[in-house]
Structure 1
């Protein structure tokens, strides 16, 4: 069975045949002496090519419709098919409430938002044109959702249902989110919550004696929008196709660049230049161990010490875990007991845990810290104590004329390279409810 690309090639071949036979007909008709037999044959060839093109074009459109449906289809009931991203649903048994639609293919999660981004990029940010493109491509549910999206000078805001799905897909790419930090919507742009600084006390006393009072003290942890922008260059030839596979490509590019930067901010952000404050800065100085050596006894004492510091702070340990570089995890897995030769932490290789707590790895933790450039960081926390506030929206704008600086520091012209630059903006912040739930260390020589 031919796939969509094969069908498109067949359609292109039929179109080329129409062009060549039409040229032949024109040449024969322009001749001083018309060869009627040859002209009739050329006309017949043109009509055959025209029929072949119509057939191939129909096959392509059917295949594109199927692929579009796979990208946007959802479970449906009596009220018809729903569209992935929350634009449809099915009636419940009671007849009143509805059950939200769910994507039929897990691989297509986030594709709805990506197709909207793709349509906006193809139309150079023109909102109405993007809606028309989605409708023409068979994504009527997405076009309806995008038609109600808000627009401003910064671009077009992807509707919350589709944006939330894309943002949720960042979780496995951002270590702090993956470890279990709580996601909290911040629709008003700011979130304030209390953090307990000292606890109340209890005491024994004589019968009928007045009970001694004690008062816990509280502070506040404020979160406000921190704007993360990402720039994704997309080839214009790709933007001409609105298939699910192209949507997946756009989706993955957006997730990659936004995930890496968010990961770094949530771990090592200092709050400078309107960036989030990360775990390293939030961790109390008393809970951070500097320059721990890499001998087996020193390493074991240090990692057990981190756990003790969090547990001794009466943290609930609801979602405890570690965050470190993959090289650090492999270093710890290779450590052996000096006396017996047995692996010091065999659970790392067996089930990815250290002292019974899961390990999450990221390349966003440096391994060249310290005066000698051989230190890295290890974080331990109850991630249930960490809160991430998010607007749950992504704003998109595009340009075909702008330039950008690539990872090598070179300036690249989008116009010269036939690219469209897609700028995506999301807003979020992070803060712990109780910073006693955080601990960490600098490991000297803790990488392989």
Structure 2
């Protein structure tokens, strides 16, 4: 059965082709001397594009109906079933994502072959977890982990990523891209004399574009571990996947510059006027800068439904230790009392550096409204495995998986990030703010 997301992408491409064919006809008809032959050819092309779109639309709707029917049948208690109708779920929160890890282990044991992987799961008492692989579809060079199991791993990733953990809205982008309109400038109202004409104004609109950025995580796992089909080993595999992907996703969403296929992170979405670099050390100066940072966002009429600070843990501890020289009272008592600064929660990440600037002692502090930051997500996880490939480790050395008796697990996720309004972000570089 074709993947529903692939069918939706194909429909989106067919829609683009249809729009292009329509525009071509409009351009030919608007010419001073319309070319009847060219118009006829363009109309033939439009008809073909229209037929292609209608066919793609039918395939999507048919697949959606089949998926809805499958879900309804699985939810009906009276419906008999020969085997498990849904992937096994973890009994305890600590074992969330174990099903996906067991699928990875089964695929490794089966050499990437889904049927052999399912047989491995049945033989080792994990049929409930790996039965979902029977409906898995091939991805580029790998296998798409079934959506319910992938969702558990994605849910484990979010707390490790500051921006996702802040409660930003997550939007499913099955077609791989999304364009959403936003209000760039509001209409205005004004007073005037009686019977005077009203001053005309109109709102201005632009759009936020997002397209998939591909995150690849590579985890080497010892084959000796994979030969032990146990839940503790599955936890090791799960944690390795979550750690390696969560760390890189956190860095991209915080500080990505948009180059090399990476998302643009919060730091680089912030307006230049909303970011400052100051050498602040005295409690009074630090407090003033913190307040000005919040003011930049509030004065832009941002609702601050989910205002959030992002900084290093050492920066948070520096702020928590500041005291007024005269009274000795804490400048920001809310940090120790409730983990908040100016009433807004603080989230920390080691991916925010503390060695920036000419002196190598600067760090970044970001304030943002999480409700204004959109995360586009494919909500999918693709897995590929190899026991013959080589990889380059963090020291720059080339490691042979075959020679080391390893299996390389490559996990792929697709996502992007964009703010609804750039004014919802502000921040600054603090100098010497690490304890």
TM-score, normalisation: structure 1: 0.76
Distance 1:210 1:164, change over 3 A: farther
Residue among 267, 270, 294 paired with 1:280: 267
Residue among 272, 284, 295 paired with 2:282: 295
Matches within 5 A, 1:367-406: 367-406=354-393
Counterpart of 2:334?
A: 347
Counterpart of 2:114?
A: 127
Mapped contact 1:292–1:302 kept (Cα < 8 A): no
Q: Deviations over 1:299-339 (max 9, x none)?
A: 11111111111111111111101000001000101111122
State the distance in 2 between where 1:80 and 1:359 align: 50
Matches within 5 A, 1:83-94: 87=86
Structure 1 residue 360: deviation in Å? 0.2
State the distance in 2 between where 1:368 and 1:300 align: 22
Counterpart of 2:215?
A: 228
Gaps of at least 5 residues in structure 1 are 1-74, 89-100
Gaps of at least 5 residues in structure 2 are 1-74
Counterpart of 1:98?
A: none
SS in 1 for 2:260: helix
Matches within 5 A, 1:32-431: 87=86, 103-207=90-194, 209-431=196-418
State the distance in 1 between where 2:170 and 2:329 align: 41
State the distance in 2 between where 1:110 and 1:211 align: 61
Distance 1:211 1:244, change over 3 A: farther
Residue among 421, 426, 435 paired with 2:422: 435
Structure 1 residue 136: deviation in Å? 2.1
SS in 1 for 2:402: coil
SS in 1 for 2:403: coil
Distance 1:406 1:290, change over 3 A: same
State the distance in 1 between where 2:346 and 2:324 align: 21
Mapped contact 2:100–2:149 kept (Cα < 8 A): yes
Greater Rg over alpha carbons, structure: 1
Size of the aligned set, in residue pairs, is 361
Structure 1 residue 127: deviation in Å? 2.1
Q: Deviations over 1:242-280 (max 9, x none)?
A: 222222211111000000000000011011011100001
Structure 1 residue 124: deviation in Å? 2.3
State the distance in 2 between where 1:258 and 1:158 align: 16
